[in-house]
Structure 1
Amino acid sequence: MVQNDGFAGPILHFRGCDGDGLRLAAISVRPEAAPPPGALTTSAGAVAPLLLARVAGLSVWRHDFVLAAGEAGYSLDGRDHPVETCLDGDIRIAFVSCNGEENGDLDRDGSERNRMWARLAQDHARAPFALLLQGGDQIYADEATHGHPLSEGWPDDVPDDPVPADLESLTRHLEAKFAQRYLMVLAAEGCADLFASLPSLSVWDDHDICDGWGSLPESRTASAVGQVLFSVARRMYLLFQHGATDADVPALFMDPTGSNLGWRRDLPGVTLFAPDLRSERHRRRVMGDAGWTAVESLRPSGDHVFMVSSVPLLGPRLSLLESLMMAVPRMQHYEDDLRDQWQSHAHRDEWRRMLGQILRMRQAAPVTVLSGEIHLATRAEMGPEDTKIHQLVASGISHRAPPRAYARALGLFAGLGDAPLRGHPIAIRPLPGQKHRYVAERNFLTLDRRGGRWQAVWHLENSGLTPPLALD
């Protein structure tokens, strides 16, 4: 079982870059009774910590600072932390997703659980990354509802009209359970040094709230218990995955109201953006007005666009599989999983709408979609060569892979293809060096810009590194 003494950090969060340099936030977590961290020092001087929040017996502190281009890093509490600060030439970006499992994640052996994180840390030590993109399910909070009378039966058994005192008790319970999971991840042996030197930028998915959030019946998600669960998960997501509170939302996210937590960041020559596919989701909607306004008003700059979609944007004809499963009573409990996908019958119009937006952006620069969620590694292409969209799926940095037979069956199904937009067929392709469309191994992805051109490499637990894939 993973133990934690209430200390974690510093954990770097990417805020952006401009003429002054790389803008960062570093959070440090300590027990409430412990003294605050000291001043953080850079070549520009010392920065005092800001108390960001007190939650679940913990204090969360933040240092906001800037590192000039070429600066080696920063110092905090007697330790030097190197950071890659030259972003206008050859740079490296890492992408991960699905950092946990639905059941028993707190009890797993740490060295087994974090084996791929250790490899990522080794690769960072060899050739530093400038940014860590996290594509969803950074924690698996599914068991956080256990142990409280209001949420023990979630989502099948939800009290009709709980009293305010019991809801307040549930809030405190969930805060403690979410904090426990975040600390396990952020303070894990082999990961802590990585998070202190590699700035992170994250989007959330359902397990950061609960399995299937937004695809569950609305009688559950709209209930008093469901709203407490979402509220706590959102607060903890902002705090631990962005080093932020609601007061920071207008500066960090495309929707200043916070109804949708999609974000955009720009590096020299690169636009990065991630629509939030959870905050406004329900069974017949992926995003609401705030999310769509943000995406449709986005005008990318630079030579390449990377979109982070927490569920794969380019996928096989899952709507056909959805119809087949719903016809078989024993398979209907998979409905929520299929509702989560862009390709669901319920979301097909929105899927076309998003694909149209990606094609609009493709007129300005090449577009690559990064995604996770499926616990497999794969890739896809959409459209003819002159407007080709790449999708790279790296899923399962710590979630153990499903059986190979499942990957093979899904690969055969993916051979049917799909073309939701006329003239832009979608094809699921094998990874470079692989024979099959889906690889059932834990994995992460690295993106390298060399001489102005991007390439991608998958790091597979058993098969090793794939040959590079050019993203022109």
Structure 2
Amino acid sequence: MTNTETKWAYSIADVRYKSATKPKTNYFFVPAIDESMRIMFHSCNGFSVGTDEDAWSGPALWNDVVRSHAKAPFHVMIGGGDQIYNDGIRVSGPLREWTEIGNPKKRRDYPFPEKLRKACDDYYLNNYLRWYSTEPFAAVNGQIPQLNIWDDHDIIDGFGSYVDDFMRCDVFRGIGGTAHKYYVLFQHHIAPPPSTYTTDAPQTMESGGLEDQTQLVNTYVKLRDTPEPCYIIGSKPGPYVAEHSMNMFAKLGARIAFMGIDARTERTRHQVNYPETYDLIFGRVQNELREAASAGRPFKHLILLLGIPIAYPRLTWLENIFSSPIIAPIKFMNRRFGFGGGVFNHFDGSVDLLDDLDDHYTAKTHKKERNALVERLQDLCAEFSVRLTILGGDVHLAALGRFYSNPNLHIPIEEDHRYMVNVISSAIVNKPPPAAIANLLASRNKIHHLNADTDETLLDLFDKDPGNSNKTRGSNHVTMPSRNYAILTENSPNNPDISTNGQPEQDNQEVATNVFDGNDGHSYLHAGEQGAGTQHKASQPETHGKNNDGSLDCCIRVEINQHDKEGRTEPYGLTIPALKYEAGKYGTNIHHRLGLRHHRSRPGTAVSTATPSTQSAPEPHH
């Protein structure tokens, strides 16, 4: 890295390319040493089984990524999961015979011998080769460095969220290992394990990673050296994949740090990650933030990649229906007579949508884990005065969730360590859900209370539908069922001085801040949210990232017309302010922690619980 942004060219000698027109030289960009990276975020980069790909113009939005990259080059591309869809393995691939077995017990007891492993291995390899050579995605892969975390479709739909005894069947254990092999090769570019699970060599699932010599005949696998420092490796294998989770920490330039949580390797229906994995991740991130602050170059923003949204409308009522006894007789008729075949999945016989609902952090089974994670993130933000922004995909629509302090606490967002934006950008390729689903989610956009001090809800980001389309009903301004991707750029303190957030500068900053005092999440919470949408300065290339207050401009670019092969988009923007946290200024307000997790003190009552970052007794609640 140098004092200025640099453009680098690279080529690979003695390589024969499939396409005669493919450029022999590629380029990538590196930011100046005192600047942060321009970030592109995407998820759900593929089509679900049975989708008419031509009706959706293929991966058209990657053309828009190419155009955006040409105007202001991205330094990093973050993949939020489902970078490839491997679900076809059960429809047109080697698992078709297994999938068509009607008896769930026979399906569960089906073996995964070497012959089937090799067939599945070939399927994953060829599917990666096909998709990663598909333009314009292939061209972008050669130009923008990337950080990826996988999700279920990188393996098979719903992996990890079916019932436990079925998830432990040989076939799921086998394809979990095989999918992981090609995930690390294609998405992380590191050596895979020497062999993966088969029923012929079950020792590959045991601690110590014993190798299956059959798979190593005439095969070279690079020895796994010390892992690259960006990885935070889980301490023990996942329950269904005989591999350790690959969590990440990276520095995205001068003032932005990145942490990615592998939420698939350790996932079950009742957990997302092991408690000790969270300890490893937070320990590493705390050390990195502490060292940066000690060196006089503190991080101002922390990007968290979760894959699945964490600030999102609840669908508990739908979970209750799908899990209730009234579904039992219908499931029986499905098993015996095939009744309602499209409603139930082909694996464990549950309602097909239930594995998707169980995937969500807002699902009943993950609620405690979710809340504990958010509260731990709040502690991290307070300890280092760093603004956290969450990236999440999976749900095939665009939205923007936020956590923030209870308005009764009267904390300006610029000083609120609980204010965290969840940028929900999905899908860049897969088709969106019907408008009715998006409108239903919008109607469920309540103000939820994570704890006594923290509220959450979606932002009214979509002031209009993209172009002249009618994708949502008039009252829905929070969920957009259209393909999309996101751009995040720091308003660098090194930029020339211009007006703030696209609004005229205020003579009295305190007056400007007080305009939002007491607002709940159905209103704008700070100047960066005011006017969010297509007219916001963060949505326009000419003004995006051009301020100098250290904030983060976020733009979600939404497809206008699915039949447009050029993938033209409408931009929607907002600005995320940097955090200026001062411990104790507004009281500690930590009633949700430790022994007070389920107790809220009366106003004016002192709270006498010590916390890891607070040695003295907290101040009274205001």
TM range, smaller chain = 0.7 to 0.9
**What is the letter of the counterpart of residue 481 of structure 2?**
A
Question: Residue 108 of structure 2 contacts residue 166 of structure 2 at CA under 8 Å; is this kept in 1?
Answer: no
3-state SS of the aligned residue for 1:369?
Answer: strand
Query: Residues of 2 paired with 1:174 and 1:136: CA distance?
Result: 21
Is 1:462 equivalent to 2:439 in the alignment? no
Q: TM-score, normalised by structure 2?
A: 0.61
Is 1:262 equivalent to 2:247 in the alignment? yes
**What is the letter of the counterpart of residue 155 of structure 2?**
I
Query: Residues of 2 paired with 1:378 and 1:123: CA distance?
Result: 21
Question: Residue 462 of structure 2 contacts residue 477 of structure 2 at CA under 8 Å; is this kept in 1?
Answer: no
Distance 1:193 1:333, change over 3 A: closer
Query: Residues of 2 paired with 1:261 and 1:176: CA distance?
Result: 24
Question: Residue 557 of structure 2 contacts residue 572 of structure 2 at CA under 8 Å; is this kept in 1?
Answer: no
2:150 maps to: 204
**What is the letter of the counterpart of residue 354 of structure 1?**
L
Query: Residues of 2 paired with 1:95 and 1:125: CA distance?
Result: 16
Distance 1:314 1:248, change over 3 A: farther
**What is the letter of the counterpart of residue 447 of structure 1?**
L
Distance 1:155 1:136, change over 3 A: farther
Question: Residue 234 of structure 2 contacts residue 277 of structure 2 at CA under 8 Å; is this kept in 1?
Answer: no
1:105-254 aligned at under 5 Å gives the runs 108-109=53-54, 112-146=57-91, 147-148=93-94, 151-153=98-100, 157=104, 159=107, 161=109, 167-246=113-192, 247=224, 250-251=227-228, 252-254=230-232
Distance 1:249 1:223, change over 3 A: farther
Shift of 1:205: 0.7
Shift of 1:220: 2.1
1:412-432 alpha-carbon deviations (Å, 9 max, x no partner): 012x23222221111111225
1:299-334 alpha-carbon deviations (Å, 9 max, x no partner): 153110000111101122233432244335267442
1:368 maps to: 389
1:398-456 alpha-carbon deviations (Å, 9 max, x no partner): 01111112111110012x23222221111111225345210011000011123233101
Query: Residues of 2 paired with 1:124 and 1:154: CA distance?
Result: 48
2:429 maps to: 398
1:430 maps to: 460
1:80 maps to: 25
**What is the letter of the counterpart of residue 575 of structure 2?**
A
Moved more, 453-462 or 75-84: 75-84
Distance 1:391 1:82, change over 3 A: same
State the identity as a percent.
Answer: 24
1:70 maps to: 6
Quick one: which of 329, 348, 362 aligns to 1:343? 362
Query: Residues of 2 paired with 1:379 and 1:248: CA distance?
Result: 40
Q: TM-score, normalised by structure 1?
A: 0.79
Question: Residue 35 of structure 2 contacts residue 255 of structure 2 at CA under 8 Å; is this kept in 1?
Answer: no
Question: Residue 373 of structure 1 contacts residue 395 of structure 1 at CA under 8 Å; is this kept in 2?
Answer: yes
Question: Residue 167 of structure 1 contacts residue 225 of structure 1 at CA under 8 Å; is this kept in 2?
Answer: no
1:417 maps to: 447
Shift of 1:229: 0.9
Query: Residues of 1 paired with 2:483 and 2:134: CA distance?
Result: 18
Shift of 1:91: 3.7
Distance 1:307 1:173, change over 3 A: same
Larger radius of gyration: 2
3-state SS of the aligned residue for 1:283?
Answer: coil
3-state SS of the aligned residue for 2:99?
Answer: coil
Shift of 1:266: 1.1
Question: Residue 367 of structure 1 contacts residue 390 of structure 1 at CA under 8 Å; is this kept in 2?
Answer: yes
Question: Residue 81 of structure 2 contacts residue 393 of structure 2 at CA under 8 Å; is this kept in 1?
Answer: yes
Number of residue pairs aligned between Structure 1 and Structure 2 = 403
Question: Residue 308 of structure 1 contacts residue 370 of structure 1 at CA under 8 Å; is this kept in 2?
Answer: yes
Question: Residue 233 of structure 2 contacts residue 246 of structure 2 at CA under 8 Å; is this kept in 1?
Answer: yes
Question: Residue 145 of structure 1 contacts residue 174 of structure 1 at CA under 8 Å; is this kept in 2?
Answer: no
Structure 1 residue ranges without an equivalent (≥5) = 1-20, 23-67
1:17-68 alpha-carbon deviations (Å, 9 max, x no partner): xxxx49xxxxxxxxxxxxxxxxxxxxxxxxxxxxxxxxxxxxxxxxxxxxx9
Is 1:303 equivalent to 2:300 in the alignment? yes
Quick one: which of 441, 444, 447 aligns to 2:482? 441
Query: Residues of 1 paired with 2:181 and 2:120: CA distance?
Result: 11
**What is the letter of the counterpart of residue 417 of structure 1?**
I
3-state SS of the aligned residue for 1:189?
Answer: coil
**What is the letter of the counterpart of residue 459 of structure 1?**
R
2:215 maps to: none
Quick one: which of 323, 327, 342 aligns to 1:326? 323
Question: Residue 115 of structure 1 contacts residue 398 of structure 1 at CA under 8 Å; is this kept in 2?
Answer: yes
1:37 maps to: none
Question: Residue 277 of structure 1 contacts residue 286 of structure 1 at CA under 8 Å; is this kept in 2?
Answer: yes
Distance 1:320 1:256, change over 3 A: closer
Query: Residues of 1 paired with 2:157 and 2:402: CA distance?
Result: 28
Shift of 1:161: 4.9
1:132-163 alpha-carbon deviations (Å, 9 max, x no partner): 00001111111213443663348974545556
**What is the letter of the counterpart of residue 6 of structure 2?**
G
Structure 2 residue ranges without an equivalent (≥5) = 15-23, 193-223, 236-242, 290-298, 331-342, 344-350, 406-412, 465-475, 493-549, 562-568, 578-622
